[in-house]
Every structure is written in structure tokens, then in C-alpha cells.
């Protein structure tokens, strides 16, 4: 994970949860609820996948890792039915495996009020419908707050802070405030009742980070030393913002490399064969 100093904290957060879950005195009071925020392509899904892979042998393919997508699974049609299905599915998974991982991606595209359906599961209850949710983990992922995170980071840079100096509390209030009025988080009880334990800001990536991503992507295709031309071609798809006067942050992070770098490799192969 490049350029995400606060994301390293996820390791401590997960360890603390694991210790509480394994505590014989059952000190664990509620499910762990983490909300990941940031611009597209900065590593939110990458981090969620790493967590799934670290906790479950089959990673994202485990029966006990459930991924919901905001728009596909929860647009506003047939909402009552969708909410009932959601509760039934989660009850069934967590009953079989109390240490399940439930991920809601694209919350910015989710119909408001869906998250209120799962509020009891996130709260301090010993059981919901007879099922104990306290050992499970919920991860919310969205672009909500991405712009505010970028603005705040620029402000901190202006005050002389370095990227590695920033802290959770620099961003949490602004993420909470923004989220409460947007997408699936709109007026969500999970926010109002402080049921989200950690708001994790994913910082917008800068040139050196996207270069590291490009090199990693080349490496994953067994290209260990891309030529200068290949790197330049790979990086040509990156545009910088937040505006023309401040071209500091990569607008789509590392997202475009997954498709673009195989194309660059193919093009270079053809050129050398000619």
C-alpha cells in the first residue's frame, strides 16, 4: 500500500478487535465497524481485499465474506424487500460464522435508509434476532469525503505538515459531517449514534505514489525494468488536481493502470518485434 500512512493503523485496529473477540471475559461489546473514505483508485478496495485475505483462507471468496455493491444491490426500487433480504442473509451468515466480514462498497450510490436496517447489528447488543454480531466486522467503502480529505490535506501541507504527520482526528470530523448528508449515509443512525468505530481517510495519491503503483503493476506482469518510454506511456493517463493551479493529486489514483499497463506492454512487444 503506497502513500497511505493512516491505513497502516488498520492493522492495530484489527488486532485490538481480535484480542477482544478472543478475550475469555468477553470484553467485546459490539461489532467492529470501519468506514473507508477517499477518491477513486487510492486503495480502499485493495485494503478491504487484503483484510479478507488475511482473515480467511479463501479471502473474498469465503462464504463468510459478504460483499454488497451500493448501486447494484441497493438502488431505491423494491426497497422493503431488499431490506428484508439483507437482514435474512446477514442473520444466516453470522449465525453460521460469528466472525464474518460484511463489506458495503459504493455507499455513495446506495439508497438512503438501507444502513438503518442493520443498525441493531452494529450496536451494543448481545444478540439480534437471537444472533450475536459482536465478533463480526463491517466495512463501509465510499468516495464520500474524498474532496474534503484532499482540501484538508492541502491545508495541512500549507501549515508545514508532512504526509506522514497527519492523524485520524485531522479528518474524522469533516468526513462524519460530509457523510451524514450523502448517499447511503444520509441521516444514517450508524453515524448519528456513533456506531462507526473508525473513519479511515485514504489520502489522494501524488506523483511518486502513482509511479510506485505503475512499477508494481509492471512487476505483476514480470516486467521488472520498464523502459523510460513505457513508464511515460503508462503515466500519460494520469491527470492531476484538485484544480489546474494545484496539479498535486492524481485524480483517479492508480485505478487506470490495471487496464492501461497490459496495453503498454503489448504495444512495446509489438514495437520490439518489428
Ligand X SMILES: Nc1ncnc2c1ncn2[C@@H]1O[C@H](COP(=O)(O)OP(=O)(O)OP(=O)(O)O)[C@@H](O)[C@H]1O
Closer by beta carbon to ligand X, 47 or else 190: 47
Main-chain phi, psi angles of 255, to 5 degrees? -60, -40
Sites for ligand X among residues 209-238 (CB under 6 A):
213
| Contact flag: residue 251 with ligand X (CB under 6 A) | no
| Contact flag: residue 50 with ligand X (CB under 6 A) | no
Sites for ligand X among residues 89-148 (CB under 6 A):
143
Closer by beta carbon to ligand X, 193 or else 258: 258
Closer by beta carbon to ligand X, 168 or else 194: 168
Q: In angstroms, give the least distance from the CB of 216 to ligand X.
A: 6
Closer by beta carbon to ligand X, 105 or else 172: 105
Q: In angstroms, give the least distance from the CB of 259 to ligand X.
A: 11
| Contact flag: residue 1 with ligand X (CB under 6 A) | yes
Sites for ligand X among residues 18-47 (CB under 6 A):
38, 40-46
Closer by beta carbon to ligand X, 4 or else 251: 4
Residues in contact with ligand X, counted by CB under 6 A, come to a total of 18
Question: Please, what sign has the CA dihedral across residues 184, 175, 188, 60?
Answer: positive
| Contact flag: residue 55 with ligand X (CB under 6 A) | no
Closer by beta carbon to ligand X, 28 or else 252: 252
Q: In angstroms, give the least distance from the CB of 151 to ligand X.
A: 18
| Contact flag: residue 255 with ligand X (CB under 6 A) | yes
Q: In angstroms, give the least distance from the CB of 98 to ligand X.
A: 27
Cα 267 from Cα 272, distance rounded (Å): 9
| Contact flag: residue 253 with ligand X (CB under 6 A) | yes
Q: In angstroms, give the least distance from the CB of 24 to ligand X.
A: 37
Q: In angstroms, give the least distance from the CB of 29 to ligand X.
A: 29
Closer by beta carbon to ligand X, 46 or else 157: 46
Cα 161 from Cα 165, distance rounded (Å): 6
Q: According to the 3-state scheme, what is the secondary structure of the chain?
A: CCCCHHHHHHHHHHHHHHHHHHCCCCCCCCCEEEEEECCCCCCHHHHHHHHHHHHCCCHHHCCCEEEEEHHHHCCCCCHHHHHHHHHHHHHHHHHHCCCCEEEEECHHHCCCCHHHHCHHHHCCCCCECCECCCCCEEEEEECCCHHHHHHHHHHHHHCCCCHHHCCHHHHHHHHHHHHCCCHHHCCCHHHHCCCCCEEEECCCCCHHHHHHHHHHHHHHCCCCCCCHHHHHHHHCCCCEEEECCEEEEECCCCCCHHHHHHHHHHHHHHHHHC
Binding interface with ligand X (CB under 6 A):
1-4, 38, 40-46, 143, 213, 253-255, 258
Amino acid at each position: 500500500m503506497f502513500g497511505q500512512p493512516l491505513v497502516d493503523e488498520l492493522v492495530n485496529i484489527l488486532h485490538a478487535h481480535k484480542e477482544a473477540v478472543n478475550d475469555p471475559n468477553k470484553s467485546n461489546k459490539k461489532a467492529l465497524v470501519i468506514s473507508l473514505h477517499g477518491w477513486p483508485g487510492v486503495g480502499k478496495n485493495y485494503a478491504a481485499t487484503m483484510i479478507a485475505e488475511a482473515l480467511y483462507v479463501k479471502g473474498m471468496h469465503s462464504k463468510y465474506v459478504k460483499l454488497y455493491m451500493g448501486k447494484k444491490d441497493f438502488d431505491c426500487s423494491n426497497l422493503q424487500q431488499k431490506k428484508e433480504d439483507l437482514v435474512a442473509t446477514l442473520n444466516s451468515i453470522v449465525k453460521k460464522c460469528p466472525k464474518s466480514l460484511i463489506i458495503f462498497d459504493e455507499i455513495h450510490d446506495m439508497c438512503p435508509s438501507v444502513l438503518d436496517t442493520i443498525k441493531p447489528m452494529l450496536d451494543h447488543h448481545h444478540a439480534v434476532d437471537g444472533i450475536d454480531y459482536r465478533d463480526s466486522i463491517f466495512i463501509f467503502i465510499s468516495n464520500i469525503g474524498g474532496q474534503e480529505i484532499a482540501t484538508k490535506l492541502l491545508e495541512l501541507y500549507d501549515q508545514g505538515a508532512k504526509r506522514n504527520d497527519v492523524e485520524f482526528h485531522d479528518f474524522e470530523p469533516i468526513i462524519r459531517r460530509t457523510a451524514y448528508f450523502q448517499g447511503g449515509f444520509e441521516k444514517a443512525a450508524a453515524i448519528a449514534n456513533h456506531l462507526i468505530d473508525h473513519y479511515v481517510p485514504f489520502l489522494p495519491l501524488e506523483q511518486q505514489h502513482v509511479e510506485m503503483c505503475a512499477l508494481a503493476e509492471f512487476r505483476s506482469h514480470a516486467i521488472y525494468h520498464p523502459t523510460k518510454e513505457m513508464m511515460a506511456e503508462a503515466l500519460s493517463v494520469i491527470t492531476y488536481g484538485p484544480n489546474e493551479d494545484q496539479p498535486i493529486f492524481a485524480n483517479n489514483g492508480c485505478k487506470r493502470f490495471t487496464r492501461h499497463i497490459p496495453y503498454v506492454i503489448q504495444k512495446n512487444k509489438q514495437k520490439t518485434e518489428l
